[in-house]
Amino acid sequence: MTSPLLALPGAVAGDGADAPVAAHYGSFNLEQRRLEAGDGFVDLSHLDVLRIAGPDRLTWLHSLTSQHFEGLGPGVWTTALVLSPQGHVEHFLAGVDDGEAFTAWTEPGAGAGLLGFLERMKFWSDVTLTQEPGLATVWRPAGEGRDAGYSFIARDQLTAYADAVGPAAGMWAFEALRIARGEPRFGVDTDERTIPNEVGWVSLADEPWRAVHLDKGCYRGQETVARVHTLGRPPRRLVLLHLDGSENRLPEAGAPLQAGEKQVGFVGSSARHHELGPIALGLVKRNVEVTAQLEVDGMPAAQEVLVDPEVGLHVRPKLR
């Protein structure tokens, strides 16, 4: 469903899954700077939104997903994964509980599959599942008196919301800042073989914003997560790539990453950052040297380590 904010002056539609919202409103570099200064918001109304209601919702989500839902208080945002029995990431969701229901967003087009899985897993649990096309997701940066984060508003209130909290920033600015933070996007920076440890989704402390909580009971795929966390050495690792800026283009998502003649991974999302230049996230084999020069689509790419290849710290390491 196309966002009404594409009618704003200067709005240019995005590409692919992001086509229903604006890529930018005239200057993605200026929009990045505004977001970093704590101003404005990002229209993410193309994300699919689900609502999970009923008295059993939190204990039920706790048993099904990688996150610790028991005792989750109203107004606390959290993320969660549904894993395969082998620990591969099958579904991603991020949301908030209001005391009566847990409302969550997932990637464009992924809502129906997630809803179908959850419906099959209801059994005797007292939960009600609905997809919510009337709700839109928006994101605001940290500003005076507020933290950065997501919220939901009625889709028909988007224009009024933009008038109240604008200026709007597009997906190019939002993605550039996300990539620079080293935050992966499900289905773009991951593939069907991805396990949470490879991309930094495992919590090492009381960090509910990470999608996997280590201090909880059994869930599908837990053995893989726990084994890699304990022993380290994830099969692959997420890296931030600093791309050669001599080419006026960015690599396509899924493009192979090369170390010499050998393919060692793939590139996910990419963007032009207002300070760092062209950057991307890549998933590479663990044994690729952290100093190795890589190449994608004919462009040199230098690595910045996000997930430690040896001990699996799953955070941006402090390398000496």
**pLDDT tens, 258-279?**
999 999 999 999 999 999 999 9
In the predicted structure, residue 206 carries a pLDDT above the cut 90: no
For residue 41, give Cα distances in angstroms to 132, 161, 171, 188, 312: 21, 10, 11, 23, 34
Q: What percent of the chain has pLDDT over 90?
A: 82
Distance between CA atoms of residues 190 and 183, nearest Å: 11
In the predicted structure, residue 136 carries a pLDDT above the cut 70: yes
Q: Which residue has the higher pLDDT, 234 or 173?
A: 173
pLDDT score, position 205: 52
In the predicted structure, residue 315 carries a pLDDT above the cut 70: no
Residue 319 banded pLDDT, cuts 50, 70, 90: very low
In CATH, which of 3.50.40.10, 3.30.1360.120, 3.40.1350.10, 3.90.105.10 is domain 1-231? 3.30.1360.120
Asked whether 284 and 294 are in contact (CB, 8 A), the reply is yes
Among the ranges given (32-46, 93-107, 227-241), the one the predictor scored with the smallest mean pLDDT: 227-241
If you ran DSSP here, which 8-state letter would residue 9 be given?
A: T
Q: What is the mean pLDDT of residues 104-132?
A: 96
pLDDT score, position 246: 83
pLDDT score, position 208: 47
Q: Which residue has the higher pLDDT, 113 or 209?
A: 113
Q: Helix (H, G, I), strand (E, B), or coil: what is residue 155?
A: helix
Distance between CA atoms of residues 180 and 278, nearest Å: 10
For the chain, residues classed under CATH 2.40.30.110 are 232-305
For residue 210, give Cα distances in angstroms to 85, 96, 138, 158, 314: 20, 14, 19, 28, 11
Asked whether 302 and 253 are in contact (CB, 8 A), the reply is no
Distance between CA atoms of residues 290 and 153, nearest Å: 43
Asked whether 294 and 313 are in contact (CB, 8 A), the reply is no
Q: What is the mean pLDDT of residues 293-318?
A: 79
- Residue 92 C-alpha from the chain's centroid: 8
Q: Which residue has the higher pLDDT, 101 or 205?
A: 101
Residue 318 banded pLDDT, cuts 50, 70, 90: very low
Mean residue pLDDT of the chain comes to: 92
Q: What is the mean pLDDT of residues 55-76?
A: 94
pLDDT score, position 305: 92
pLDDT score, position 110: 97
Residue 204 banded pLDDT, cuts 50, 70, 90: low
In the predicted structure, residue 320 carries a pLDDT above the cut 50: no
In the predicted structure, residue 65 carries a pLDDT above the cut 90: yes
Q: Could you write out the DSSP letters of every residue in 74-91? A: TT-EEEEEEE-TTS-EEE
Q: What is the mean pLDDT of residues 193-211?
A: 77
The CATH class for the domain spanning 232-305 reads mainly beta
For the chain, residues classed under CATH 3.30.1360.120 are 1-231
71 burial type by CB count under 10 A (0-12 exposed, 13-18 middle, 19+ buried) = exposed
Asked whether 256 and 238 are in contact (CB, 8 A), the reply is no
In the predicted structure, residue 151 carries a pLDDT above the cut 50: yes
Q: What is the mean pLDDT of residues 136-148?
A: 88
Q: Which residue has the higher pLDDT, 145 or 61?
A: 61
For residue 307, give Cα distances in angstroms to 33, 170, 264: 27, 28, 16
